[in-house]
Amino acid sequence: MNATDENTADQTDGLADPREPMSYGERNVWASAIAVAISFVFYLAVIIPRLLEGPIDQISWVTPMLWAIGISIVGTIVLSILMAIGSEIGGAISSSVRSALTGRTVEREAPVHAEDVRDKDISAYGERVTMMGMSFAMLVALVLAMMHANTFWIGSAMFVIGSVSSLVGAGVKIHAYRRGF
């Protein structure tokens, strides 16, 4: 029996809960990716119109970037909490529905609020990709500083490349969760 056959059989022979809830680690990756994406879009939405309107040395970019960083950090925490609550509610609904459908009491699966070894392995794998991007961001910032570029370009380059690196790292982690690692 190959892995696919085994998986198909597992859904029908009562050996497993067919519901496959997202792991703690994957939930946090999604929360972080969504928050970083929102903060990235926020920063660009504020800065690009200013960039088109006036000279670069008069652009007010520090406050929007601090807001964007704040959105990223607070958003990750808030989304992680909301997704954990959603997972709890989903688990309760799933066990109730299965109890109703099967006519017997289906024990609710204990929610997981901690990383296990697979979460840690996948996290380290994704962080390697993110760190490569961060290293590139530092290199770009150094080159811009050596060229006496405006601080707007140095700060923005680090923020943009850092955000993209985080998103790519999150994508690598989600791929590892979904497709294998």
Partner 1 sequence: MGGKRATRVTNQIRALRAEYGDMTQAALAREIGVTRQTVIAIEQGKYSPSLEMAFQIARVLRVPLDDVFGYPDGGT
Closest separation in Å from C-beta 181 to partner 1: 5
**Least CB distance to partner 1 at residue 42 (A):** 31
- In degrees and rounded to multiples of 5, residue 27 shows phi and psi of -60, -45
Residues counted in the chain: 181
**Residue 60 or 96 having the CB closest to partner 1:** 96
Minimum Å gap between C-beta 116 and partner 1 is: 4
Nearer to partner 1, 33 or 65 (CB): 33
Q: Contact at 8 Å (CB) between 33 and 72? A: no
Q: Residue 56 has what DSSP assignment?
A: G
- Cα–Cα distance between 46 and 158 in angstroms, integer? 17
Could you list the residues that contact partner 1 (CB under 8 A)? Answer: 1-3, 6-7, 9-10, 13-17, 20-24, 26, 109-110, 112, 116-119, 121, 125, 175-176, 179-181
Residues whose CB is less than 8 angstroms from the CB of residue 168 and which lie 6 or more positions away in sequence, other chains included:
129, 130, 133
Measured from the CB atom, the residue of 9 and 41 that comes closer to partner 1 is 9
